[in-house]
Amino acid sequence: MGDVGDDIRADSAAWSFDGIAPSFDEHVRKSVPLYEEGHELVCQLSEFFLPAGAHVLELGCSTGALARRLLQHNAKRSDIHYTGIDSSGSMVEAATERCAGDLRASFVHDDVVALPFERSSLIVSYYTLQFVHPRCRQDVIDKVYQALEWGGAFLLFEKVRAPDARFQDISTQLYHEFKLARGFDEAEILNKQRSLKGVLEPFSTQGNLDLLTRAGFVDVTSVMKWVCFEGFLAIK
């Protein structure tokens, strides 16, 4: 079992979100470029897609950091409800604790592949779909499209693969430099990479656009990009 940084250890091809909630926020902020800025962007975009009585659904809520931030951003909106889903029980516990006292929030311990989605005005997947097995990914996006109200939005943030080998090599090296600059050492970076084998399976930008198109989305744009990390806005 190797050290991947921030007191988190994982075996090769065995990365798991169970049991890492106390260290997760610090680890992910150092691992994902523009992580906090992406949260702020989601909050700003939410203002366009929250009609009266709106329901917000988050696929993969982790520790509830985005849920709390979005609800605080829309603090005057007592009419909205936020549901976060996560397959890790410890993450759901952390999210519930973080948003305790806000009656607009609820969190569900379940699998986004199996769970039916509530009718929603805004659905967010913040670096979650990349951990759903590729064979199930289209089914999840199809459910997102079907659950959205007309005029509703899907915010999809994903790590993305480059369109060819040369660009992928450049992308990988730039990302390693990013992590080194934030305090990870070479062994931690390699151990994390090994732990994610068969667990994190990014699609390319075009691959994600194809998923959205097949589900029925017509109006799609990129709203954020840092080399191999991208955010998409899809409106039904």
The pLDDT tens digits for 84-119 are 999 999 999 999 999 999 999 999 999 999 999 999
The pLDDT tens digits for 29-54 are 999 999 999 999 999 999 999 999 99
CB atoms closer than 10 angstroms to residue 155: 22
Mean pLDDT across 128-156: 98
Is residue 120, in this structure, part of any structural domain at all?
Answer: yes
When the pLDDT of each residue in the chain is averaged and rounded to a whole number, the result is 97
Is residue 177, in this structure, part of any structural domain at all?
Answer: no
Q: Decide if 59 contacts 87 (C-beta within 8 A).
A: no
Is residue 132, in this structure, part of any structural domain at all?
Answer: yes
Range of the domain at 157: 12-162+201-235
The pLDDT of residue 202 is above 90: yes
Q: Decide if 119 contacts 144 (C-beta within 8 A).
A: no
98: domain CATH number is 3.40.50.150
Is residue 216, in this structure, part of any structural domain at all?
Answer: yes
To the question of pTM greater than 0.95 for the whole model, the response is yes
The pLDDT of residue 15 is above 90: yes
pLDDT of res. 131:
97
pLDDT of res. 9:
94
Contacts of 120 (CB under 8 A, 6+ apart): 54, 55, 56, 57, 147, 148, 149, 152
Is residue 46, in this structure, part of any structural domain at all?
Answer: yes
Confidence band for 23, pLDDT divided at 50, 70 and 90: very high
The pLDDT of residue 1 is above 90: no
Is residue 6, in this structure, part of any structural domain at all?
Answer: no
CA atoms within 13 A of residue 143's CA, in its CB half-sphere: 18
* Overall number of domains in the chain: 1
pLDDT of res. 196:
96
Which helix (H) or strand (E) is 229 found in, with range?
A: strand 229-235
The pair phi, psi for residue 133, each rounded to 5°, is -55, 135
Give the whole-angstrom CA distance, residue 210 versus residue 216. Answer: 10
Is residue 168, in this structure, part of any structural domain at all?
Answer: no
Is residue 29, in this structure, part of any structural domain at all?
Answer: yes
Mean pLDDT across 130-155: 98
pLDDT of res. 158:
98
